[in-house]
Amino acid sequence: MKKIPFPIVHTGFLGVKYKLSVLRALTGKLETVAKGHNLILDAGLDMLATNLTANLTRYCHVGTGTGVFQRDSGTTTVSRAGTTLTASGAYFEANDVGRLFKFDSGEEVYINAFTSTTEVETVDSGTIAADEGTMWYVDRTQLDAETSRTSSYRTDSGDNETTLSAGVLNYKRTHSFSAVGSNVTYNEIGWGPSNSTALYNGSIITGGVSLLTGDILIVESNLELVQSPQTPTAQSDIGSGGFDTTGDIQIESTGLIDISSSGSAENSSFKGSMEPSLNGSGTSNRTLSISSTAQAFTTYGQDVALGSDTRKVYANSTYNNGDHFIDKSATYSISEGNGTINTICLMDNVSSYPTLRVLLDNPQTKLSSETFALGFRLSWGRVLSN
């Protein structure tokens, strides 16, 4: 059997930017009161394995708690020797176990044991010079004191949409809460995919947002992500059984479900092959493909038909929390796809659009005496900015 293990493609989440406005009951005017950005939580990263990307911000949550999502080290510096982090002053706390410390120089380390306010142990090992940084509370799963959540949206033009600009996909939703029944100050906010307390991401609202009886909170959120590679990128040989995968790889069509103008996920049958949560079971609309066609790559974000090919409905691998990847794979039998192969693809099938394509440097051959296993690995992560 010839086999291509898993060429890897990646989605990196830049985070959620938000703007809070209040429709004042007394004046009828819409007043912008706060802006900010959110921390994507560890539990939130796991949610992508079972939820559409667009639905990660389906519900907006607000609360009156004051627990933080990050803690800057200020002028205190931290260094690492082996598995030990040492602070120049009292900085660490027992609850830091499970959190992530990011040095201002860029390195990220998870904390797995507390020794003292100046010393903790990390999951992995290495040497990092003394530098300031931020402790990120990635182990949080909900707000401290949730007061309200909603999946109701404003539906004026531009309130809810998915756009692509300069290689960045932006999922915009505009949530509208019910009028408050009494005075309240919201200090925390977050988003999640379901009608539960579980958060994809969250943050403290700097300065809080105060509402008087009858006021309505309006929340505009923008979830930003970047897929890669967006341009043809060299790939070395990762095949086995005599199949040479040397060539170039590129994402051509985003392969993700949009947000409609109503705020719901537009679960079109034409898309979804790059959604980790969607497999090809029961449909021919998301497939793997092999083709003798050797056309040039198209611009990222454009749908261009590939040409003749042989497709197989793929299956997703089992996901374990913390993996942050899904494998999509299928096997061609001895009677399927025989002949010359110039291209292997992940497809949004209905109009023959390649989502992800590898253009081989050297044409390969599948014989009628061989089976052929093909797969792609989709991985994802977040970008933390101290």
Q: What is the DSSP string of 168-190?
A: EEEEEEEEEPPPPSS-EEEEEEE
Per-residue confidence band for 268, with pLDDT thresholds at 50, 70 and 90: low
DSSP-assigned beta bridge partners for residue 157: none
43 by DSSP, 3-state: which?
Answer: helix
Q: What is this structure's pTM?
A: 0.93
Given the structure tokens 């454009």, which residue do they identify? 302
pLDDT of the residue at 240: 77
Sorted by where each begins, the domain ranges of the chain are 2-10+227-382, 70-136
Please give the Cα distance from 215 to 176 (Å, whole number). 11
Across the range 220-246, mean pLDDT stands at: 91
pLDDT tens-place string over residues 182-206: 999 999 999 999 999 999 999 999 9
Encoded tokens for 260: 């409609």
Asked if 83 and 101 touch (Cβ cutoff 8 Å), the reply is no
Q: What is the chain's alpha carbon radius of gyration, rounded to the nearest angstrom?
A: 24
Q: Which residue has the higher pLDDT, 384 or 7?
A: 384
Closest-CA residue to 259 (of 178, 354, 151, 148): 151
Given the structure tokens 């949409």, which residue do they identify? 161
pLDDT of the residue at 41: 97
Encoded tokens for 139: 């182990």
Asked if 171 and 259 touch (Cβ cutoff 8 Å), the reply is yes
**Is 283's pLDDT higher than 70?**
no
Q: How many helices (H) and strands (E) does the chain have?
A: 1, 28
- CB count within 10 Å of CB 202 equals 26
Please give the Cα distance from 146 to 311 (Å, whole number). 47
pLDDT of the residue at 238: 85
DSSP letter at 322? T
Please give the Cα distance from 233 to 14 (Å, whole number). 22
Peptide bond into 229 cis (omega under 30): yes
pLDDT of the residue at 349: 67
- Detail the DSSP E strand segments found in 59-136: 59-63, 70-72, 78-87, 100-103, 108-116, 119-131, 133-136
